[in-house]
Amino acid sequence: MSTDVVILAAGQGSRMRSRLPKVLHPIAGKPMVRHVIEAAESLEEARLHVVVGHGADRVRESLSDVSANFVMQEEQRGTGDAVARTLDALGDGPVLVLYGDVPLIQPDTLAALMEGVDAHHMALLTVRMAHPHGYGRIVRDEQGRATAIVEEKDASEAQKRIQECNTGILAATGAHLKRWLPQLSSDNAQGEYYLTDIIAMAAAEEVEVLTREPHGHYEVQGVNDRVQLSALERIHQHHQAQRLMREGATLADPGRIEVRGELSVGRDVFIDVGCVFEGTVSLADGVVVGAYSVIRDAHIGEDTTIEAHTLIEGAEIAGAGQIGPFARLRPGTRLARGARIGNFVETKNARIGEGSKINHLSYIGDSELGRDVNIGAGTITCNYDGVSKHRTEIGDGVFVGSNSALVAPLRIGRGATIAAGSTITDTVDDDSLAIGRSRQTQKSDWVPPHRR
């Protein structure tokens, strides 16, 4: 049976002090609401309904790739009113209500919450807190059944001492919600339509309220300001670090790693401090990542060493590579086994053959290098003519002397040598020496300007 999932994402988040809608503020480089959506999509046959309001266009644009029904709540009049806006789109089966600013809810918690929701049962996620100030309290009868939720501002002194709190996350059938939500009243301290009032309606109709608790409080912590956002970021990163260590990685400092996407690791991986991983990254067995490196959407083959302060984006490294320090591998870079990229080298859309080396201060773009090529310091491929990009092809065993300019389109044959300081514009034959520089001249009567 399909499950309708209603995600409330209409709030302004004024305490964030930002022009960005609150639910779009990121955790691990991804909008909070997207974390919630991914958890919801773990449920079988989930149908998403996102209630938007403040910054609705930006929220829709950010989630343009998500298959969801977007519903407008122009005036924020409480959670009950927000869910009521979706009633016409809901079926009569199970409905789960989530919040776009509660980003760390876990799929297994949602699966457990949905168990048993039917015509005679609804479900509520609760949490026990030593200091529950500000939270709605769960009121139970003599048999221990949940019968109501009382908000802090409406609670009596006795009710304020209750430590079991409402998280706002609940599930009921669409048939029940279609009957209960139109009966909500705004006669309360906030003047809002509380979704939580349906608990008392369920109890009055003898619909049992099943309660579940999350594995940790962090799953139900919402974000109202940047301090809370930062706290959840650290919790999320802590969990990522623990996962990586269990999967075979050694982290020099588990508190100084940032995973902003999907990072997979093999055995005996070592990650030094301050490294950032974005998008989809895989590190094979034996990879070493030096301090303060940034790796984005890349595969790093086994036994590769990445020295400190290296930026890799959209690249593939076959294995046994040596990269950095202070290197930049841009999208389209492909390194064969044993290739080496040294300090202050930049590559883009370049295939570097097995055993080839670019060790210092060079730019290699739109190029294909064969095996065992040596690129001298200060070499650049001049791949852009102001309108179009052109390719440079360098054969096996080529030696390019320092400070050379290779003007594309260009082919350098197998085993050729390029003299240092050359500007090469024409094809170089196999096993030949190319010299592209003027003959040195000297003026013995030269007087420098400062002596004139």
Q: 384: annotated binding-site residue?
A: yes
Separation CA 92–CA 262 (nearest Å): 36
Q: 93: annotated binding-site residue?
A: no
Q: 101: annotated binding-site residue?
A: yes
- The neighbouring-strand residues paired with 320 are none
Separation CA 367–CA 350 (nearest Å): 5
Classify strands 94-99 and 269-271 as parallel, antiparallel or unpaired: unpaired
Q: 79: annotated binding-site residue?
A: yes
Q: How many CB atoms lie within 10 A of CB 372?
A: 17
Q: 248: annotated binding-site residue?
A: no
Give me the amino acid identity at 361.
Answer: L
Q: 10: annotated binding-site residue?
A: yes
Q: 348: annotated binding-site residue?
A: yes
What are 248's two structure tokens? Answer: 């075979």
Q: 401: annotated binding-site residue?
A: no
Give yes or no: 133 in active site.
no
SS (H, E, C) 130-173: CCCCCCCEEEECCCCCEEEEECHHHCCHHHHCCCEEEEEEEEEE
Q: 194: annotated binding-site residue?
A: no
Q: 166: annotated binding-site residue?
A: yes
How many Cα atoms sit within 13 Å of 4 on the Cβ side? 23
Q: Catalytic pick from 121, 217, 239, 360?
A: 360
Q: 437: annotated binding-site residue?
A: yes
Instruction: Please check whether residue 172 is in contact with residue 198, taking contact to mean a CB–CB distance below 8 angstroms.
Output: yes
Q: 240: annotated binding-site residue?
A: no
Q: 330: annotated binding-site residue?
A: yes
Q: 383: annotated binding-site residue?
A: yes
Torsion over CA: 81, 82, 87, 91 (sign) = negative
Q: 30: annotated binding-site residue?
A: no
Instruction: Please check whether residue 252 is in contact with residue 273, taking contact to mean a CB–CB distance below 8 angstroms.
Output: yes
Separation CA 210–CA 129 (nearest Å): 19
What are 113's two structure tokens? Answer: 């919450």
Q: 136: annotated binding-site residue?
A: yes
Q: 402: annotated binding-site residue?
A: yes
SS (H, E, C) 224-254: CCHHHHHHHHHHHHHHHHHHHHHHCEEECCC
| Binding residue numbers for UDP-N-acetyl-alpha-D-glucosamine | 8-11, 22, 73, 78-79, 99-101, 136, 151, 166, 224, 330, 348, 363, 374
| Binding residue numbers | 8-11, 22, 73, 78-79, 99-101, 136, 151, 166, 224, 330, 348, 363, 374, 377, 383-384, 402, 420, 437
The residues annotated with a catalytic role in the active site are: 360
| Binding residue numbers for Mg(2+) | 101, 224
| Binding residue numbers for acetyl-CoA | 377, 383-384, 402, 420, 437
